Structure 1
Amino acid sequence: MSSRRPVAGIDIGGDRKGNHLVILRGTQIVCNLRKEAPEHMLEKCLQFEVAAVGIDAPCRWRIGEAGRQAEKSLAQQRIFSFATPTRELAMASQSGFYGWMFNGERVYDAFTPHFPIFRNGGETGGGVCFETFPHAITCAFLGREVASAKKKGTQRREILKHEGVETTPLRSIDDVDAALCALTANYLLDGRVDAYGDELGGFIVVPTPAVHDRRVSSDLSHD
């Protein structure tokens, strides 16, 4: 990575699992927090002078009947995600499923005064936060046909290792996903990302590795 400015990634969970934060400086993990409040994660990001924050949660609720363009665009690439509802539908749900999306909303609310939400083509130099998606990140590095939810623990660690990130401190898949979001922030600062979506529904940001970096080991492709 040409950028050595600190970056962060946040994996969003429900109330029981909580949120996980990883801060990278280059490829070195300099902070790893688990189950912390958004305000404490923000405090750490400001302390380390983070330049970009990748967040694994929708940055916008759906508006009206039409789905978010970001999710539609990824689906056209056969990369599928949870469909984000309107906030009203999420509030009305009795299942509790959307709790993680409300936790994501609280993270964005805490961060956006200091890290404005990514706008495709906008400046990122003054600090930015953005939505990303670990499965889409995995597809970018390994290929859609290889990326597997069943093998995500192994595959996502291998991506980080290939990028030079020491994965030993990452104790869970939630830590790994937070590190992948931070890795994507590095790619954003280097200008090596694809942004799916539009201004109305927000953008999902995915790395665009160089062709020679899109390596798939025989273990990952044939397990």
Structure 2
Amino acid sequence: MSSGQAVAGIDIGGDRKGNHLVILRGTEIVCNLSQKAPEHMLEICLQFGVAAVGIDAPCLWRAGDAGRQAEKELARRRIFSFATPTRELAKASKSGFYGWMFNGERIYQAFAPHFPLFNNERKIGERVCFETFPHAITSAFLGSEIASAKRKRTQRREILEDAGIETTSLRSIDEVDATLCALTANYLLKGEIVAYGDKLGGFIVVPAATGRKWI
């Protein structure tokens, strides 16, 4: 884990479920809240002196017909995610499915003036926000053949416990996932990450998980 710097993770949900924010300082959960406006979450992160924020939502929409490079690279490693559409296609959808992606967009927009989006060229000491997602994080630690959506409640808590984070206060999988995103922010501060993607479609960041199986 990093030194005393605070880091944050945000699990993005639809309008009904809402977003969940967890802030870590070392291995201690110092803040855990949900159902707050993006501007309020930003204010809380600034109050705690957060250095990096991991967000479980696409950081950019797909450009044109080609899929995002980050999603393609992870798929080649058998790590699959929801395919991000163009903003126009998401806006035209009548299903309501993409509501969580628009909520993620609002989070990135609120944070951007203080936490610029990760572009794989971050300088030491600069605040940053970045895209990650819990299944890829789990796969980084356990391997894509072992990481299982059916066992996510157990596997993801075990990863946090192995990192020294007490999980008894985490009441839902959403809070667990937000904490995983914060844990990844700690890895980013240490420079122990793998970034998939490009500047056009944005990067997805996962822990390098040195010494662990990553397929």
- The answer as to 2:171 corresponding to 1:182 is no
Q: Which residue of 2 aligns with 1:115?
A: 115
Q: Which residue of 2 aligns with 1:52?
A: 52
- The answer as to 2:183 corresponding to 1:173 is no
1:209 to partner: Cα distance: 1.4
Q: Structure 2: 5+ residue runs without aligned partners?
A: none
Is residue 10–residue 20 contact of structure 1 (8 Å, CA) maintained in 2? Answer: yes
- Separation in 2 of the partners of 1:94 and 1:9? 30
Is residue 134–residue 181 contact of structure 1 (8 Å, CA) maintained in 2? Answer: yes
- Separation in 2 of the partners of 1:124 and 1:165? 25
1:169 to partner: Cα distance: 1.1
1:146-165 correspondence to structure 2 within 5 Å: 146-165=146-165
1:121 to partner: Cα distance: 2.6
1:3 to partner: Cα distance: 2.9
- Separation in 2 of the partners of 1:18 and 1:47? 22
1:107 to partner: Cα distance: 0.2
1:70-219 correspondence to structure 2 within 5 Å: 70-211=70-211, 214=212
1:73 alignment partner AA: E
- The answer as to 2:59 corresponding to 1:63 is no
Is residue 3–residue 189 contact of structure 1 (8 Å, CA) maintained in 2? Answer: no
Q: Percent identity?
A: 77
Is residue 12–residue 55 contact of structure 1 (8 Å, CA) maintained in 2? Answer: yes
SS in 2 for 1:101: helix
1:168 alignment partner AA: T
Q: Deviations over 1:20-62 (max 9, x none)?
A: 0000001100000011111111010000000000000000000
SS in 2 for 1:85: coil
SS in 2 for 1:33: strand
Q: Which residue of 2 aligns with 1:218?
A: none
Is residue 2–residue 187 contact of structure 2 (8 Å, CA) maintained in 1? Answer: no
Q: Which residue of 1 aligns with 2:6?
A: 6
- Separation in 2 of the partners of 1:146 and 1:82? 20
Name the TM-score, length of structure 1 as normaliser.
0.94
1:124 to partner: Cα distance: 4.9
- Separation in 1 of the partners of 2:94 and 2:62? 19
Count of residue pairs the alignment pairs up: 213
Q: Deviations over 1:131-173 (max 9, x none)?
A: 0010000000111111000000000000000000010111000
Q: 1:144 to 1:124 in 2, by over 3 A?
A: same
- Separation in 2 of the partners of 1:106 and 1:209? 30
- Separation in 2 of the partners of 1:91 and 1:57? 16
1:28 alignment partner AA: E
Q: Which residue of 2 aligns with 1:219?
A: none
- Separation in 1 of the partners of 2:167 and 2:37? 24
- Separation in 2 of the partners of 1:207 and 1:136? 9
1:180 alignment partner AA: L
- Separation in 2 of the partners of 1:164 and 1:38? 29
What is the root-mean-square deviation in Å for CA atoms of aligned residues? 0.9
Name the TM-score, length of structure 2 as normaliser.
0.97
- Separation in 2 of the partners of 1:58 and 1:183? 18
